Amino acid sequence: MTFDPKDCGTCPIRHRAVCARCEADELDALDGIKFYRSFEAGQSVIWSGDNMDFVASVVTGVASLSQAMEDGRTQMVGLLLPSDFLGRPGREFAAYDVVAVSNLTLCCFRRKPFEQIMLQTPHIGQRLLEMTLDELDAAREWMLILGRKTAREKIASLLTILARREASLALQTAENGTSFELPLTRESMADYLGLTLETVSRQMSAFKREGIVLLEGKRKVTIPDFDALMAETGDDADGGMVA
Amino acid sequence: MTFDPKDCGTCPIRHRAVCARCEADELDALDGIKFYRSFEAGQSVIWSGDNMDFVASVVTGVASLSQAMEDGRTQMVGLLLPSDFLGRPGREFAAYDVVAVSNLTLCCFRRKPFEQIMLQTPHIGQRLLEMTLDELDAAREWMLILGRKTAREKIASLLTILARREASLALQTAENGTSFELPLTRESMADYLGLTLETVSRQMSAFKREGIVLLEGKRKVTIPDFDALMAETGDDADGGMVA
DNA sequence: ATTGCGCTTTGACCCAGATCAAAATGTATG
DNA sequence: CATACATTTTGATCTGGGTCAAAGCGCAAT
């Protein structure tokens, strides 16, 4: 099925995005205020403090939210994958720097009318609440990673998270281990984890040396034994994230 | 005005909590499923993984949410002050350890009926969404602190946050600087900031020695020059948190 | 093929904060 | 008011990850 921007029925994130619970007439209302925007890998979507007159769903690709300190230190505070929501209803100015980590397509809604529609459409607010609560849980797991884990555990945790997301969004798990395209550069990984890119590189090399991950080229990652990787995250064995 | 548990009109968090936007009849519905619980400083409210059949608003006092790793490392991931919401509608088991940091009073709602009422009362869902978005912003500011700030900047940031909260909840700023009761032990501060308690103590001593904060006893904190403290946080001078 | 450029790897060294240990403050209890 | 226990402070030492520096890739453009 190819994606026809005119028809939400063909949209790849139709049943996971903020519009997931909408009925046909509700989709029509949204359709009237929506437009698509695309960005190439590396491009900036918006800068913190800029006026932001839209909110959006990530349709394809990956975007990062990050905060910068004036001396240049940077911390990624959000990683948006397909179906994730960008922006905050009621907020006029962007709170974070948003960058297209890979090629990116957004389904944008003009903010003011979106807020209006939201008032009349409980389904949207309900879904947004659910998504926001999920993001808050993810942020809290991330805080444990940032505050208490070693560099090695941080890398293992990130790979685990990416592998799981891949598995949930995609295809099937090949028997010979999980395998996916790393959407992040070493620097982005460092910004995600509160490390330097050198430390990220060293730990990746260590995992490669130990056979816990296999690297083809710089970006293709294969995890032959997912449990072995999990054991390095420092988390409970029983995959019991957010119990 | 003294607080009469029978009458939401006298409730100190009436216009900030999850029920802030409720009309009289909506409050009545909530009233039918609510009950109060109190905890002494240090007591556990609930353990991660426990069955949690209520959600709640903090009425008075302070509670912490934290995550523990099996080897004992602990990271605080939420600090709930009066009017903050505890629990997640639709979630059966607690995701975090919740501890009463100071003496604590909760206004609890039985979870199942609360979820029911929420479906019929957009005002509650709307307010909860707003509060959750605020918490997500706070979590993201916190992630910058955990990932990129020095110990000194972390302490300054925490004191700034507490002082600001105090200022917003309370009275007036005395001309001779802000002053408040530190609700956290050195260990809790360490858990909040991803440090050890020794490092927290050393940095507090340094600020005291430099006259940036004044300590009476172990808990009473006075900040003679708020801008001087702000300058130590590493944030933009123009107080422009979450722009 | 060669140059250039962005990204990654690797090495050598250093330091902020962790760890280990002890003393100094409270502050409850009998 | 002495004892016991929790909390905090301070000191001495160690180390994981940061910093600085220099090679190694790929890959695109000429």
B14-58 residue pLDDT tens: 999 999 999 999 999 999 999 999 999 999 999 999 999 999 999
The amino acid at residue B241 is M
d(CA B154, CA B193): 6
| Contacts of residue B7, Cβ cutoff 8 Å, sequence gap at least 6 | none
User: A17-26, A188-197, B233-242: lowest mean pLDDT where?
Assistant: B233-242
Q: Is the predicted pLDDT of residue A241 greater than 80, yes or no?
A: no
pLDDT tens digit string along A67-92? 999 999 999 999 999 999 999 999 99
d(CA A86, CA A77): 13
Q: What is the mean pLDDT of chain A?
A: 92
Predicted local distance difference test score (pLDDT) of residue A169:
64
Say yes or no for a CB contact (<8 Å) between B75 and A144. Answer: yes
d(CA B10, CA B192): 33
Predicted local distance difference test score (pLDDT) of residue A7:
82
Predicted local distance difference test score (pLDDT) of residue B4:
74
For helices A122-148 and B122-148, the axis angle rounded to 10 degrees is: 20
Could you say which residues of chain B have pLDDT below 70?
1, 169-176, 238-243
Say yes or no for a CB contact (<8 Å) between B95 and A236. Answer: no
Predicted local distance difference test score (pLDDT) of residue B167:
77
Highest average pLDDT, of A6-10, A30-34, B173-177, comes from: A30-34
Q: Is the predicted pLDDT of residue A240 greater than 80, yes or no?
A: no
Contact in structure between B8 and B107 (CB atoms under 8 Å): no
Partners of B93 on chain A (C-beta within 8 Å) are 243
Q: What's the whole-number mean pLDDT along residues A194-201?
A: 98
3-class SS of residue B140: helix
Predicted local distance difference test score (pLDDT) of residue A127:
98
All protein residues with a CB under 7 A from any atom of strand D: A 150-152, 194-196, 198-199, 217-218; B 42, 185-187, 197-198, 200-202, 204-205, 215, 218
Partners of A78 on chain B (C-beta within 8 Å) are 140
Gap from B196 CA to D11 C1', Å: 16
Task: Compute how many other C-beta atoms are within 10 angstroms of the C-beta atom of residue A120.
Answer: 10
The DSSP bridge pattern shows strands A97-100 and A74-80 to be: unpaired
3-class SS of residue A157: helix
Task: Please give the structure tokens belonging to residue A160.
Answer: 């685990």
Q: Is the predicted pLDDT of residue A242 greater than 80, yes or no?
A: no
Protein-covered nucleotides of chain D (CB closer than 7 Å) are 7-12, 16-21, 26-27
User: Please, which residues bridge with residue B79 across strands?
Assistant: B64
Predicted local distance difference test score (pLDDT) of residue A224:
94
Range 179-238, chain A: CB under 7 Å to any strand C atom? 185-187, 197-198, 200-202, 204-205, 215, 218-219
Predicted local distance difference test score (pLDDT) of residue B170:
63
d(CA B9, CA B18): 14
Q: What is the mean pLDDT of chain B?
A: 92
d(CA A22, CA A16): 11
